[in-house]
Amino acid sequence: MKNKYFSVEEANSFIPKLLIDIPRIQSLMKSLVCEYPDVRKAREKAQFNGGSLQGADYIN
């Protein structure tokens, strides 16, 4: 993947969206881990190709 570089103005223009998106992602992750504790283990193993006893059930 090729690196993308942003000007200060471009980077600053993303901040309002990031202030909305990052807390939402954090909330979704917390919910996912609470409902499917095995997801945390799979995430920790992701660099080794993951793996979860619950499979992809949390997606549906």
**Segments of the chain scoring below 70 in pLDDT:** 48-60
Task: Quote the pLDDT of residue 45.
Answer: 74
Distance separating alpha carbons of residues 32 and 1, to the nearest angstrom: 29
pLDDT digits (tens, 9 = 90+) for 31-42: 988 888 777 777
Tell me the Cα Rg of the chain.
Answer: 16
Q: How does 31-57 read in b/e, with b if 16+ C-beta sit within 10 Å?
A: eeeeebeebebbeeeeeeeeebeeeee
Domain boundaries, the chain: 7-33
pTM over 0.85: no
